[in-house]
Structure 1
Amino acid sequence: MTEPWTLLVLREMLRGAERRADIARGVPRMTASLLTTRLRTLTAHGLVVEVPNNSREKRYRLTEAGRGLRPIVDQLGRWGQRWLAPPGLRDLDADVLLRDICAQIPPDRFPARRLTVAVSVTDAPGTSQWWLALSPSGATVHPGKPARQADVRLACTLSGLAGAWLGRQSWLRAARDHTVVFTGAPDAVRAVLACVGVSRYASRETA
């Protein structure tokens, strides 16, 4: 259980990922063969079960014992945020970061109406545009430009977005530094910020 990647696989499953593709999306640098190995190990230890389904893609679900690890995973996340050095630019992945943001929004912070946020990450390698769909029922992230007109546009650097989300600095400070820039109707921008908030692992000592 102390093998590399195991806790990250558990983290993704604690967020609701069941399909192999969904788990893999949250750990993009993990090879497919290693993910298979870790899922087998978790299954052997009674923390995960394979869910029968009609599709070719396997689905996995946490057992009660697996779900019981949530406080431990959360505590390790808070410990890492406090004691480990901030991630460097090479350690950041915009897609993973945006998925992390959406996955951590609690239901009581979902907006009262549907909001579309167009995101442009100015220093992201490869894909640089995404859009977020925020609604009363959930939050999802998608690559490319939104099909409908965006309510809010966010232009940011990868480090600026990560710093504000992880609590290294406040959203206001990031906006003043122009590393995170929101445009749109003021009430829509406020609703997006209230929905997104900060990571549950974030430091509260922001300026």
Structure 2
Amino acid sequence: MIDYGQFCTVARGAEVLCERWTPLVVRELMCGSTRFNDIRRGVPRMSGSLLAQRLRKLEEVGVVTRVQGTGPSAEYHLTGAGEELRPIVMALGHWGARWIGSRLKRGQLDAGFLMWDIRRFVHLDECPPGRCIVVHFRFTDAPEGERRWWLVIDQGTADLCRDNPGDEPTLVVECTVLALTEIWTGDREAEDSIRERRVRMTGGVRDARDLWRWLGRSAFAETRAAARG
């Protein structure tokens, strides 16, 4: 653990929260991930051994508690101290959206994380009840193995598949990872990207229009959209 050698509580707090990857691990817990593999899906470039190490340290300082889940795997939950980090992490995200913006480098684009983030924030209450919706995403520039994704919304849940689930797609969305990331983060409006042919959609006109209401955008997208004017 970092040791700044100061009694100042800013330094003491930073020792816990500011180690590499730790804020993102806390973010994943705040987003509802409780199992090790789910947390790792939100930080795919973090090694499993380092994630285990960070979770142990967060447990030692009282930010996380480890409990036995309903299955064979343990679950990780934020304690009261961990929940108090929520406004801090959210404020950091809004600050980044307002002042850092996109400025995305190629290495910062990740189809897997993007789709995982979209899946967990699907607006299930906006989706038509009693209907199975399958959205097939095709990324033209993603690495092999990450070019095709299926988002399945059915019976009040949203699942993400890398293999074809077999159902006829409601919609097919074809674009670059950057194009969908810009929509998700609030850097561009979906309508503009479609008009400019940066995003191409196949399916019913009404479904194509409603898709963006079903998906919504990231928690920081409105801040980013407001910042870019």
Partner of 1:142: 161
The reply on whether 1:166 has 2:185 as its aligned counterpart is yes
CA distance in 1, matches of 2:64, 2:175: 38
The reply on whether 1:47 has 2:63 as its aligned counterpart is yes
Deviates more, 1:193-202 or 1:132-141: 132-141
| Structure 2 letter corresponding to 1:143 | R
Structure 1 residue ranges (4+ consecutive) displaced by more than 4 angstroms after TM superposition: none
Q: Secondary structure, in 3 states, of the residue corresponding to 2:168?
A: coil
Q: Secondary structure, in 3 states, of the residue corresponding to 1:80?
A: helix
Residue by residue over 1:66-125, the C-alpha shift from the partner in whole angstroms, topping out at 9 and shown as x without a partner, is 223222222211111222252222211101101111222345434433311011001001
Q: Secondary structure, in 3 states, of the residue corresponding to 1:198?
A: coil
Partner of 1:192: 211
Partner of 1:75: 91
Change (3 A) 1:16 1:110: farther
Aligned partners of 1:111 and 1:195 also within 8 Å: no
| Structure 2 letter corresponding to 1:171 | A
| C-alpha RMSD over aligned residues | 1.9
Partner of 1:95: 112
The reply on whether 1:180 has 2:199 as its aligned counterpart is yes
Partner of 2:9: none
Change (3 A) 1:46 1:169: same
Unaligned runs of 5+ in 1: none
CA distance in 2, matches of 1:163, 1:54: 38
Change (3 A) 1:38 1:4: same
**TM-score of the aligned structures, taking structure 1 as reference length:** 0.91
1:82-161 superposed matches below 5 A = 82-84=98-100, 85-112=102-129, 113-127=131-145, 128-135=147-154, 137-161=156-180
Q: CA deviation at 1:5?
A: 0.7
Q: CA deviation at 1:23?
A: 0.6
**TM-score of the aligned structures, taking structure 2 as reference length:** 0.83
Q: Secondary structure, in 3 states, of the residue corresponding to 1:204?
A: helix
* Identity across matched positions, percent: 36
Q: CA deviation at 1:56?
A: 4.7
Deviates more, 1:183-192 or 1:165-174: 183-192
CA distance in 1, matches of 2:94, 2:122: 16
Unaligned runs of 5+ in 2: 1-16
CA distance in 2, matches of 1:110, 1:136: 10
Aligned partners of 2:173 and 2:199 also within 8 Å: yes
CA distance in 2, matches of 1:77, 1:36: 24
Residue by residue over 1:138-192, the C-alpha shift from the partner in whole angstroms, topping out at 9 and shown as x without a partner, is 3222113231001111101111011111111100111122221121111222232
Deviates more, 1:99-108 or 1:34-43: 99-108
